[in-house]
Chain A
Amino acid sequence: MKEKKIEIKKKLMSIFSPRKLVLWLSILILIFTVPTFNKSAMSETQAIVTMLCVDKVDDKIKVATTVLTPSQDKKANFQVYSGEGETLGYAVDSISLAMGKEMGFAQCKIMALGENICDEGVMQVLDYMTRTKKVGRNAVLVSFTGDVIDFTQAVANLNLEKSLRLDRIVSFDKRYILTQDSNIETFYIGYYSPISLGIMSKVKLATTEEFNAIEVASADAGSSSGSSTDMNSTGDGGENKKFIMNDGTVSLFKQGKHYLDMTLDEVKKANIFVNDAQKGTVVVENVTDHIYNDAKVVVNILKKDIAVEPNFKDGIPIYKTDVSLTVFIDEVIEENPSERLLRRNQDFLTNALIEKIKQKMESDMREIIEYCQDNKVDLLGVYKHFYALKNKDFEKYLDRVGEDYLNEIDYQISIDVKSEN
């Protein structure tokens, strides 16, 4: 018996002996390798989606995507596919079915949401796309007006003709976006925060005429506009060709639903409160002193520091904002410019100008505060600051006033302007 046992043991051990182990390993390698002989590249088996557009039309979800397809010349080539269905899942599946490929969303860096779906609430769409379809949460969120397919086509054209991506257009300059880059994650964070505020850029779909008209109009007005000519094709296509137009509008969402739109002007004003938006311009008029003579001065903000100090005094919340600006004088528009302007080594940031800048900034800031109060949106992070820094008092205050907490706050603003020297 014992001998038999030993023999069995020996046999068992011989299976795992080093020399046999090599054999096992090679068999293992073969098992793993054989199926891969015919495995084609993932980019061939999956449709690589770079942008996804979703909207709701007549109770049906309509989805359009730009899909990366290889081309002979060394350029990117996008094709637009669309589908619809009762739910988002069905709509995506219908595209998949039509293409004969699995949809791969890993490269999807932009999600565009149509007006209707924005009005109805976007959380379900985002949840499905990020959880089930694994769209990265750093994908940029954009809302748009117009037809889904037209919009996607316009984006694809943009990619093809100008090799520009929508996300870069939306966020090429921090002056024109609000608070943060609007990606899915920041939208989620906004949504789950107590004030439940989501922000995303809004782009429009315009025909050639519309676009040209806006361009002319903005040139007339003399103020800068968010629509840069660079990113808009100037009508080399047919009459029906549509264009992406970014006029700087920003959509605000409450509880995941579209709440209101902000114009570029309002965005710029709101951005004064935002530390991330470092750059900006201030235009002041009627500056008169020893250098200027009823001049219109455009001042460029080089650096901006914002210190926020929430406080309570006798139960009244005080929201104190210190803005410290470092500026640089950009343009001086004057009828008869004095020769002093040409002198070097002279500080052109005169007291009168500083005063004007302060006035202008404060009025802008007051305006946006009023805007927030009127619309009950906490764009400035008032809730966050009070909650974090004056928690107990603020909770008491919230119990008292509820949703209208913005209205009773005493906003104190102090502005400091420095020259770049």
Chain B
Amino acid sequence: MKINYRQLSIITFMSFIALKFLALPSLLYIESKNMSMFVSLILMIIDGLYAFVILDLMKKSGEKNIYEFMKNCLGTVATKIVLILLIIKYALVAGNISKGLEFFVVENLYTEFDWFVFVLPLMILVGFMVYKGIRNIARVSEMVCWAIVIGLIYIALKALSGMDILSYLPFLKDGFKPLVDSAWIHLSWFGSATFMFMLFGFVDFREEKKSKMIKYIIFAILIVELLYFVFYGLFEVTSPTHNYCISDISQFSSTYSAIDELSWLVVSMWIVAQAVQLALYSYCLAQAIKFLFDIKNNTLPIIIVVLYIFAWSFIGENTVRMERIFFTPFASIVTFVAQYILPILLEIVYAIKNKKKRAKDRIERVKDEREKNRDKKEINVNI
């Protein structure tokens, strides 16, 4: 059940654009004002670089899964701690996506509806996709990916004429501090490459083309930035009040005052993308739980994950408020460690271990050769 490199690139692409078009742009604006798109740009570029670090680790791990790989590098206890950290990270992202989806659907599509009715089919879908494994998620992503891309570009281009470029000026008026603040507070929305940890041993590197991955990541960054560019240019000071970036942009396209019918198609595609993303992060979560508690079968972790998604429907009224109250400092630290420290740490430990191993190997080889030589000599003597 391996996925190929192209599929990995597409999942990465989807993960990079997931979470970005709901509440995030409006939240970013609060701290970093008209420079918000640069915050996301910088963080996404960092995410992109880290994607390659994790990919490198993935390649080094060969057929091993993340648990075995980390156990080799860090030992059992440390591995379990890291796994807990990753579980928190995945749980936050999965919760965030499901919550975002909930608000988006209930507020934008329905006038009055009970989310509890919706969460059941969503649970079934996610449970099914996770049960069927990463290849399933990869293939579905592959199919919906292009429709989403075309939709997003369509929305952005249609709204482009309504925006005001002057709102991006003055450039960096208050220096870099607001950007750093904003980046730190909203870090948990980024870290889009962390899902790759759970794909260790599931990727077929035979048809590896680094350029493909680079292209997809750059493409993801460009699309996000294009939409942010339009978003902030369109709404300027009222940006913080627009919690549903994607549907709000599509309402204010250049065509004067009519809810654009085609945009709803695009918005629908976006919902599909979110559902697939939810499945991806649920998969990661299930995998991490499986490794942590050493569960042999797949069913139990999936049931836990699905119930976890269900549990989210009891909590919270407003994404923005939730983000403000209890995600922020904790989630940022988790993301920071999981995304930015862990890969480097693993790389270093791996390098040291490998060096030792190589040194050991060399010593042994030398020993062997000496012994062989001695044997030869002895043989010679005997003769």
Contact = CB atoms under 8 A, between A and B. Distances in A.
Contacts, number: 60
A192 B257 contact: no
A16 B299 contact: yes
B237 interface: yes
Interface in B219-248: 235-238, 241, 248
Contacts of A137: 248, 251-252
A193 interface: yes
A307 interface: no
Interface centre among B124, B166, B257 (most CB of A within 10 A): B257
8 contacts: A28-B124, A32-B117, A109-B257, A134-B111, A137-B252, A138-B258, A389-B166, A389-B170
Interface in A381-421: 381, 384-385, 387-389, 391
Interface in B122-181: 124, 166-170, 173
Interface of A: 13, 16, 28, 32, 42, 46, 104, 106, 109, 134, 136-140, 167, 171, 181, 183, 185, 188-189, 192-193, 381, 384-385, 387-389, 391
Given A109-B257, A192-B238, 15 more contacts: A16-B299, A28-B124, A106-B111, A134-B107, A137-B251, A138-B258, A140-B257, A171-B256, A183-B257, A185-B235, A185-B238, A185-B252, A381-B166, A389-B166, A389-B170
A302 B44 CA distance: 44
A183 B117 CA distance: 35
Contacts of A171: 256-257
B259 A189 contact: no
Nearest to B251: A138
Interface residues of B, number: 24
Contacts of A384: 166
A381 B170 CA distance: 15
A276 to B, nearest CB: 10
B236 A189 contact: yes
Contacts of A16: 299
Contact of A387 (B170, B237, B259, B299): B170
B120 interface: yes
Main secondary structure of the interface of B (DSSP, over half): helix
A387 B169 CA distance: 8
B257 A167 contact: yes
Contacts of B259: 136, 138
A289 to B, nearest CB: 40
Contact of B237 (A106, A167, A193): A193
Contacts of B168: 388
A418 B120 CA distance: 66
A94 B100 CA distance: 34
B275 to A, nearest CB: 18
Contacts of A140: 257
A381 B257 CA distance: 23
Interface in B236-279: 236-238, 241, 248, 251-252, 256-259
Contacts of A13: 299
Contacts of A381: 166
Contacts of A42: 111
Contacts of B252: 137-138, 185
B237 A138 contact: no
Nearest to A185: B252
A388 B166 contact: yes
Given A106-B111, A136-B259, A185-B252, A28 B235 contact: no
B117 A385 contact: no
Interface in B279-301: 299
B173 A391 contact: yes
Contact of A136 (B167, B169, B251): B251
B231 to A, nearest CB: 12
Contacts of B237: 189, 192-193
B251 A181 contact: no
A253 to B, nearest CB: 16
A267 to B, nearest CB: 18
Contacts of B117: 32
B170 A391 contact: yes
Interface in B93-136: 107, 111, 117, 120, 124
A270 B166 CA distance: 20
Nearest to A29: B121
B160 to A, nearest CB: 14
Contacts of B235: 185, 189
